[in-house]
Chains A and B, each alone.
Chain A
Amino acid sequence: MSTNNNQLEVWEVFIQSKSGLPHIHVGSVHASDIKMAMQNARDIYTRRGEGTSIWVVPTLSISASNPLDNEMLFDPSNDKIYRMPTFYVMPEGAQNI
C-alpha cells in the first residue's frame, strides 16, 4: 500500500442469506485486517437480518477476466442453441428441468 493511502485495504464481501444457498457478492469494505473486515462487513451488510454467514476476501486475491477478452471468452456460447435447456422439449409432468 502506498504511504499516502489512508483508506485501508479493500475486501470483497459475500453473504449467505440462508443455510444451503450460495454466498452472494454484496459489495466491499475497507479494513486493515481480516478481523476488522469481518466486523465491518457485519456492520454494513447484515444489519437487517440479511445473512447467516459472511465471507470476506481480499480484493487483490480475486482474478477478474479482462474485458478485452470478452469476444473470445463469451461470444462462442451465443450461437450454440443446443446448449440451452430451452432446446429440449419438457417431458410431460416435469416441473423443472
Chain B
Amino acid sequence: MEKNNLYKYIIRLADNALILGQRLSENCSKGPFLEEDLAQTNIALDYIGRAQVLFNYAAKLNNNNQTEDDLAYRRDEIDYLNFLLVEQANQDFAYIIARQFYYSAFDCLLYNELTKSKDETLASIAKKSIKESNYHLTHTIDWVIRLGNGTDESKHRLQNAIDALWTYTGEMFEQDEIDLNLSKNNIAPNALDFKANWLNTISTTLKNATLKLPENSFMMFGGRNGKHTENLGHILSEMQYLQRAYPNATW
C-alpha cells in the first residue's frame, strides 16, 4: 500500500514534468525571438530530463519489467495523472508565460520541500531539480512583469491568459489520501502548507506587473485522477506516435 502510494505520487510528479515539457517543446522554433526560443526549449529539456529520472524511479518501484519509456509513451490518457494546468494549449506567448508562472511558483515550493523527503531517491532528485525550478521561476516572473508593464496589447493578452488559466490552479493544492499518507510519513509535503506562500508570490508579482489577481473561485479538478481536458489527447497522439507506429523502435 505504502509503495503503491509512493508509485502514484512519483507518476504524478513525472507526468507534470513530461506533459509540460512536451507542451513547451511544441514551441521550439516558434519563439518570439531566437534567445527566448532557446530559453523555452531549455526549460522543456529540463522537464523532460526530470520526467526521465522520475519514471526510472517509478519503474523500479513497480518492479514489473516496465521501463521509463513504457511509462512515458505507452499509457492511455486516463493513466496520465498530471495537473490540467500543464496540458493547456500554447494559445500565444502570454499563455505560455502565465501557465509557467502558475506552475513554476508551485514547483519551486514543492521541490524545495521534497529535498527534505525521507525517501532518499526522491530527495536527491529534488535537490537536482530545485536549481532548475528556481531559474524557471525567475525567468518567468521577469516576463510577467515585462508583459504587464509593456504595451496595451501585451498587458491585455497576459491578463487574459492569467484569468483563463486561474481555474486550473486549485488542483495543485488538492490533497487526497495518497498525499496525506505520504505527508504523514514525511515523504512528501502537504501542498496546503505552502499555498499561502504560492499565493503571495502570485499576487506580489501580479501587482508588480500592474495586473489583476483573478477573482473567479470556480476551480477545475480531475487531472490528478486521470480525468483530462481534451488537450491531453492531442498531446499524446503526437507524443506517442512513434511508439505506436513502430513499437519498440530504438535509435
- A-to-B contact residues, CB < 8 Å: 7-8, 29-32, 35-36, 39-40, 43-44, 47
Contact = CB atoms under 8 A, between A and B. Distances in A.
A40 B142 contact: no
B117 to A, nearest CB: 27
A44 B142 contact: no
Given A7-B33, A40-B36, 6 more contacts: A30-B34, A30-B35, A32-B146, A39-B138, A44-B38, A47-B42
Size bin of chain B's contact surface: 10 to 19
Q: Which among A31, A35, A36 has the highest number of chain B CB atoms within 10 Å?
A: A36
B157 interface: no
A39 B38 CA distance: 11
Nearest to B139: A39
A39 B146 CA distance: 14
Interface string B122-153: 00000000000000001100100010000000
Contacts of B39: 39-40, 43
- Interface of B, secondary structure class, is helix
Nearest to A43: B39
A29 B35 contact: yes
Interface in B6-24: none
A30 B38 contact: no
A40 B42 contact: no
Contacts of A32: 146
A47 B43 CA distance: 11
A30 B33 contact: yes
A8 B33 contact: yes
B142 A35 contact: yes
A9 B139 CA distance: 18
